[in-house]
Structure 1
Amino acid sequence: MNIIDVIEKEQIKKTLPQFSVGDQVDVSLKIIEGDKERIQVFTGVVIARNGGGFKETFTVRRIVQGEGVERVFPLHSPKITDIKVIKSGKVRRAKLYYMRERTAKGTRLQEKYVKEETGTAGVASSEEQK
């Protein structure tokens, strides 16, 4: 293993939320201005994930005052303090670049509903009655 792999392995974040393309996320960034430090939140829809491993990036898009704003974030950047998944979107593409041409209601995605699994305790009790 060469020295570059060792350094990259040390800097990979261990705890990252599971998110995919189409999800609406809050990305919290650490901004340093002079001697002051603050957290800035960028909220938007993930339209792409690129690369893998230490060099993985994701692109987040949102609309600000009628203009589309896209920002590319390195996934393992030390400036990213937190990533929160607000909603999971139901999409059938790996890249949502077609969202660039859409406006207003056209940018909304269907929400993905996750079915919660019920416990097996109810099933076992019904079998015992037979």
Structure 2
Amino acid sequence: MDLIKEVQNEFSTAVEAPNFGAGDTVAVSYKIKEGDKERIQQFTGVVLQRRGTGSTETFTVRKVSGGIGVERIFPLHTPFIEEIKVLKQGAVRRARIFYFRERTGKSARIREKRRF
């Protein structure tokens, strides 16, 4: 087990990600390659979960586009993520808010954390 962690640490690229968790609204700037062209696409939504540790850490973001819920799983340590911006910090009690998938309308709102 320690040998695997040593190899992961040796090849890992240190990515400075902001401190965010479940319930936060984030904007992920993601590089997309189409043929020989490359562009950056924004994916803005609510973080449902963060899972994993080290180089295998991922986070799931959900947004509603055209009345249809879209979820995307992003690896945290990938060269394709250009930037992660935390737009709002949500006040939720759980680390994984999968119940948010069934919510629509007013019940789909998440309270914002108060900052002092």
On whether the aligned pair clears a TM of 0.5, the verdict is: yes
What is the 5 A alignment of 1:1-130?
Answer: 2=3, 5-6=6-7, 8-115=9-116
One-letter amino acid of the structure 2 residue matched with residue 29 of structure 1: Y
What is the aligned residue count? 115
CA distance in structure 2 between the aligned counterparts of 1:5 and 1:63, rounded to whole angstroms: 40
User: In structure 2, do the counterparts of structure 1 residues 98 and 7 end up closer, same or farther at CA, with 3 Å as the change threshold?
Assistant: closer
Q: How much has 1:12 moved relative to structure 2?
A: 3.1
CA distance in structure 1 between the aligned counterparts of 2:64 and 2:103, rounded to whole angstroms: 11
- TM-score (structure 2 length as normaliser): 0.90
Q: Considering only aligned residues, what root-mean-square deviation do their CA atoms show, in Å?
A: 1.7
The answer to whether the Cα contact below 8 Å between 1:29 and 1:39 also exists between their aligned partners in 2 is yes
Task: Kindly provide the CA deviation profile for residues 59-81 of structure 1, in whole angstroms up to 9, marking residues without a partner as x.
Answer: 00011111111100101011111
User: In structure 2, do the counterparts of structure 1 residues 23 and 7 end up closer, same or farther at CA, with 3 Å as the change threshold?
Assistant: same
Residue aligned with 1:105, SS: helix
The answer to whether the Cα contact below 8 Å between 1:62 and 1:69 also exists between their aligned partners in 2 is yes
CA distance in structure 2 between the aligned counterparts of 1:66 and 1:84, rounded to whole angstroms: 24
Instruction: Show structure 1 runs of 4+ deviating over 6 A.
Output: none
- TM-score (structure 1 length as normaliser): 0.81
Between 1 and 2, higher relative CO (CA 8 Å, sep ≥ 6) is seen in: 2
Residue aligned with 2:11, SS: helix
One-letter amino acid of the structure 1 residue matched with residue 40 of structure 2: I
CA distance in structure 2 between the aligned counterparts of 1:53 and 1:7, rounded to whole angstroms: 8
Residue aligned with 2:72, SS: strand
Larger radius of gyration between Structure 1 and Structure 2:
1
Task: Kindly provide the CA deviation profile for residues 17-75 of structure 1, in whole angstroms up to 9, marking residues without a partner as x.
Answer: 11111100000100011111100010000011111111011000011111111100101
User: In structure 2, do the counterparts of structure 1 residues 100 and 3 end up closer, same or farther at CA, with 3 Å as the change threshold?
Assistant: closer
Structure 1: runs of 5+ lacking an equivalent? 116-130
Identity of aligned residues (%): 54
